[in-house]
Copies of this chain bind each other. A is one copy, B any other.
Amino acid sequence: MSIDLRQFIRLVPDFPKPGIGFRDITPLLANPAALDQAVAQLAEPYRQRNIDIVAAVESRGFIFGAAVARQLQAGFVPIRKPGKLPADTASATYQLEYGTDTIEIHTDAISPGQRVLLVDDLLATGGTMAAACQLVQGLGGKIVAIAFLIELTFLHGRQKLGDHEILTLIADDTE
């Protein structure tokens, strides 16, 4: 029996600022059956796709990233905020509503030709994930797909992710 994961997402109005409805995944995480199913469903389409590496962006991406990696018998690569990764890094800077943000990856994290699944909890504007794709491809990784728990479809983040295969478990069109 499959659970409707949508019922475990809590909408918190006006967070982090007025007018924004925040999708809070903590009720889903706290429920053992919902957490288990979310990880299983994020991994399932990629079981026969020879994924070498699951990569995810700090911090919330780490929650599902490592669990999905383990489910696929893949390795996990963390993509982090500047100054957090201790060895040689490559970085990518991307546009925010106001200003820019930067993320980093270890240059030895992915070998050319390795098959990579990117995972995150939320597809919003897509800026962070587009930058993560750039980092993976810059190291020669082949992006097999990008898997999200939730997609805010009204923000059209897919448009920033080119032709990559995208999986979303919950499509949310409520602005």
Contacts and interface: CB of A to CB of B under 8 A. Distances in A.
A172 B141 CA distance: 33
Interface string A80-117: 10011111000000000000000000100100000000
Interface in A125-150: none
Contacts of A59: 58-59, 62, 80, 84
Q: How many copies make up the complex?
A: 2
A31 B66 contact: no
A59 B103 CA distance: 14
A69 interface: yes
Interface in A35-86: 35-36, 39, 53, 58-60, 62-67, 69-70, 73-78, 80, 83-86
A60 B86 CA distance: 13
For chain A, what secondary structure do more than half of its interface residues adopt (helix, strand, loop), or is it mixed?
A: mixed
Query: Quick one: which of A30, A70, A77, A84 has the most chain B CB within 10 A?
Result: A30
Sorted from nearest, which 7 A-B pairs have the closest CB atoms?
A30-B75, A62-B62, A12-B86, A59-B59, A15-B86, A67-B67, A29-B76
Interface size class of A (residues with CB under 8 A): 35 or more
Interface of A: 10, 12, 15-16, 22, 24, 26, 29-32, 35-36, 39, 53, 58-60, 62-67, 69-70, 73-78, 80, 83-87, 106, 109
B29 A85 contact: no
Query: Quick one: which of A53, A60, A64 has the most chain B CB within 10 A?
Result: A60
B70 A29 contact: no
A4 B95 CA distance: 43
Nearest to A33: B73
